[in-house]
Chains A and B, each alone.
Chain A
Amino acid sequence: MRNSKIKSVIKALVAFSGICVTLVCIWKGLRYALSDEYTFYKGYARVMMHELYEQESIDTLFCGASLCYRDFDTGLLEKELGGNCFNAGSTIQGVPVSYYLLKDIYNRIKVGHVYLELGPVVEIRYDYRTDQDIVWGMYFIADYMKWGLPKLEMLLGETSPEYYATSFLVARRYWQKAFYFDYVKRNIQAKGTKVYREYGYDLLRSEDEWYVGKGYVANGVVASLDMLNDINAAIEYKVNEGWKSYVDKIINLCKENGVEITLVTTPVSGYVLSRWSGWYDGYHDMVKEIARKNNVDYWDFTLVKDGYFKPEAGLFSDSTHLNMYGARQFSTLFARVVRGELAYDDICCRSATEKLNGSR
């Protein structure tokens, strides 16, 4: 009787393992066929995360959303600052994602200083757990994070249960593409190439942007006046308490791991700042208070004086993102501030009002 029970248990375990292995094969195969990870937006995150995990130590690490990975030219910054610089920014990377990413990084890599980009475009608008854009933005990082507690906590804690299937099973997001055989064929062909397998950069090019390396994406577009004044600027400011708590958590995480942290925002076009003028000072003061409370620096380069960085059309690819020329100029300025050649208080205004009045 006891023997037959033990046999049943072993039988069940073997069957369970067999089914699990088969499921893993099926889902990996589906992901391979259906996920367009070779295209620019998904592809650069894949390559960036692969490069990130290859680092043994990082002296200067940048974290944040698209303003981060477009505005900080890591190649130039390495030359200016020395040491190893890495840009772990990604599309629509909210502070919860930055938090769990840093948590995972600190378990594996030695980091010297983190610059957390906190531009208001992403930070303050969303209900993180249910907003589809934010959740999809999380996937850029989550799909390539190594398995561990930070990844599990993020996927389970930062999405509502209706997203669990798409969070854990990448292929599920593309189920409707299963019927498009040309699409599937292109995926399989692209993923079979040496460039893809070896995390090369050749596939990571769109019409206007290309992946340079170490997380930096260069954009060659020079924005027209219309582009500078586009709908992207029309944000409604609303304080998100959850966001504030995550910034506190990130700062505490850095302190616990002996990592220095500075909160930063990058320059935006003058047109955008004038559209934000009704609320931007409130946002600035809120972040400044968080920084003061936690005894860290806050460098708001949105308020940089024109004499040090004039936000002209030629430096932007759209209303908020710097193009490669703007990134070069800004990164040079940034490096001078880091090196102590320039004091933040000297080169930046204290408020948007002051900046806008100064520029008139």
Chain B
Amino acid sequence: MLVKLLAFIASSYIACLLVPKRMRWVVLLVASFVFYALAGIKALLTMFLFSGISFAFGIAIEDSAVGSKRRRTLLVAVVLLVVAWILAIKLCVASGYRNLIIAIPLGASYVSFSIISYLADIYWERDKADRNFLKHLLYILFFPKITEGPINKHKTLAQSLYEGQDLTYRNFCFGSQRMLYGIFKKLVIAERLSMITDGILSDLAGYSGCMIAAATVFAAIELYCDFSGYMDIVLGFTETLGIKMDENFRRPFFSRSTSEFWRRWHITLGTWFKDYVYTPLVMSGIVKKMGKWCRKKIGKEFGNGLMKAVALSAVWLLTGMWHGTGASYIAWGCWCGTIIILSTFLEGFYKKALAFLHINTKAPSWKLFQMFRTSAVFCFGIMLTRLPDLHHVGIAIRKFVREPGLSQLFSKDLFRFGVSVKDFILMLLFLLGVLCVSIMQERRSVREFIASMNAPVRWVIYAAGISIVVFFGIYGPGHTMKDFVYAQF
């Protein structure tokens, strides 16, 4: 998939160079069509149909009177249709009845988010409906974002996508650098880690609790490098075209709370659920009435907290179900939701406890502890979804408690999966590199920093970056590259 994506990116960019700015949307539309058609004609036709529905309903909603029953009915009807469609796909795939579905369109989940957000924004008068079907089709099918996002709102993406931007040298340089960084994370780190994590997590019986814990941590890092690597490639490409898409990651492992983590990880998914599930739920009449009743009965603080908890529960249940309909994903959604809800309720108590214990919350050691704690919570969530089912999660937890087996971590068992000791050390060095880049990114733009250097120094940096990816990347004969992880959703 990476090779196919890069080939499309390269040929699309060259094609855009050759046409005037106002025609670039046509090139991107054709590229998106071809990209999609390669996944199957039936899938393309299904997406065509839903794009048509989205287009028609968008105009119909906009043309309806604000506050009218017709306007509300149109929105509810199409949202229910899209949700039913996605649910049907997920349930059929999860239960093994793939044949029941005519076509499983590539990126169906992300497309459904795009359609719902587009129509909801029109309904709330935050956006205007597209009046050109082909341009609307481009917004839905735009190939860089279709398989893994980011989930961009129509109002933020449409203008730069439809009108075309100048192809500047600076955009090309910055975008290419970002793409190279993304390919590095995927090929050099994520693929290497997958050899270890697949080996350990597919067969828990042979490994101690500490080995499984280590594999879980590696799985979390692997997922980050895979997903954020894809985002870097996609956002780097759109940057070369002057198209601004929303960021999806912001150094999530620097988060000091689970709430903050989900504002830094898969940002556009969190924003989507906040804007189109959480906020409407909290602002709905029923929840407002419930809130009033709760505040009256159990106090203002608990009353407000309870309403937030209800909305958060709905959000996290849906988030879990979006990832998958199996018990593992629902458990994962419940886990994340529970942690956030508990944090919300216990915030006051927590502050008092810290003050009582005289803990200096501004100290770097405390901030570091918070980051580790938050990452540990996330890693546990990864274990829920990475292991085949909850039964295996139980096995893993029992092993961690009863047979930690720390010594196995320092034996040669870690290096039985095609990654030698030296290769592993190299990977740790590269991870250190990613950490350094991330720390730098918290303070300033790394690409601006590189751009400030003299040309020959920059050339050496670019050439070294390309060489590291080509030389140390895990690909080629004898290795089957894994597809990008989030494409499965």
Contacts and interface: CB of A to CB of B under 8 A. Distances in A.
A39 interface: no
B456 interface: yes
A15 to B, nearest CB: 7
Given A171-B471, A176-B423, A165 B476 contact: yes
B169 A8 contact: yes
A11 to B, nearest CB: 6
Task: Report whether over half of chain B's contact residues are helix, strand or loop; otherwise say mixed.
Answer: helix
Contact of A23 (B420, B423, B455, B467): B467
B169 A12 contact: yes
Nearest to A9: B169
B476 to A, nearest CB: 5
Contacts of B462: 19, 22
B422 interface: yes
B195 interface: no
Interface string A58-71: 00000000000000
A132 B168 CA distance: 43
Contact of B477 (A18, A26, A132, A179): A132
B400 interface: no
B455, B470, B472 — most chain A CB neighbours (10 Å):
B470
Contact of A18 (B3, B456, B466, B471): B456
Interface in A141-193: 161-163, 165-166, 169, 171-172, 175-176, 178-179
Nearest to B462: A19
Contacts of B456: 18
Given A11-B169, A171-B471, A161 B460 contact: no
Contacts of B471: 30, 169, 171-172, 175, 178
Contacts of B475: 162, 165
A179 B423 contact: yes
A26 B463 contact: yes
A165 B470 contact: yes
B426 A18 contact: no
Nearest to A21: B459
Contact of A22 (B169, B172, B460): B460
Nearest to A173: B476
Task: Report whether over half of chain A's contact residues are helix, strand or loop; otherwise say mixed.
Answer: helix
Given A8-B169, A172-B471, A161 B3 contact: yes
Contacts, number: 60
Interface string A1-45: 000000010011011001100110011001000000000000000
A50 B387 CA distance: 56
B206 interface: no
B348 interface: no
B169 A23 contact: no
A132 B470 contact: no
Interface in B218-253: none
Contacts of A11: 169
Interface residues of B, number: 26
Interface string A306-338: 000000000000000000000000000000000
Interface in B444-460: 455-456, 458-460
Given A12-B169, A19-B462, A179-B426, A27 B477 contact: no
A30 B169 CA distance: 31
Contacts of A8: 168-169
A14 B475 CA distance: 31
A23 B463 contact: yes
Contacts of A169: 470-471
A165 B469 CA distance: 11
Interface in B398-446: 420, 422-423, 426
B420 A15 contact: no
B478 interface: yes
A175 B472 contact: yes
B459 A166 contact: no
Contacts of B464: 26
A339 to B, nearest CB: 46
A22 B456 CA distance: 9
B351 to A, nearest CB: 50
A132 B463 CA distance: 29
Contact of B476 (A14, A30, A163, A171): A163
Interface string B121-163: 0000000000000000000000000000000000000000000
A18 B423 CA distance: 30
A176 B421 CA distance: 11
A76 to B, nearest CB: 40
A19 B476 contact: no
Given A12-B169, A18-B456, A23 B477 contact: no
Contacts of A178: 471
B459, B460, B466 — most chain A CB neighbours (10 Å):
B459
Contacts of A165: 470, 475-476
B155 to A, nearest CB: 31
Given A19-B463, A27-B467, A162 B172 contact: no
Contacts of B422: 179
B470 A19 contact: no
B476 A166 contact: yes
A162 B476 contact: yes
Contacts of A179: 420, 422-423, 426
10 contacts: A8-B169, A11-B169, A15-B173, A23-B466, A26-B467, A30-B467, A163-B476, A165-B475, A172-B470, A172-B471
Given A22-B460, A132-B478, A165-B470, 13 more contacts: A8-B168, A19-B462, A19-B463, A19-B466, A22-B463, A23-B467, A132-B477, A163-B477, A169-B470, A175-B472, A176-B420, A176-B423, A179-B420
Interface of B: 3, 168-169, 172-173, 420, 422-423, 426, 455-456, 458-460, 462-464, 466-467, 470-472, 475-478
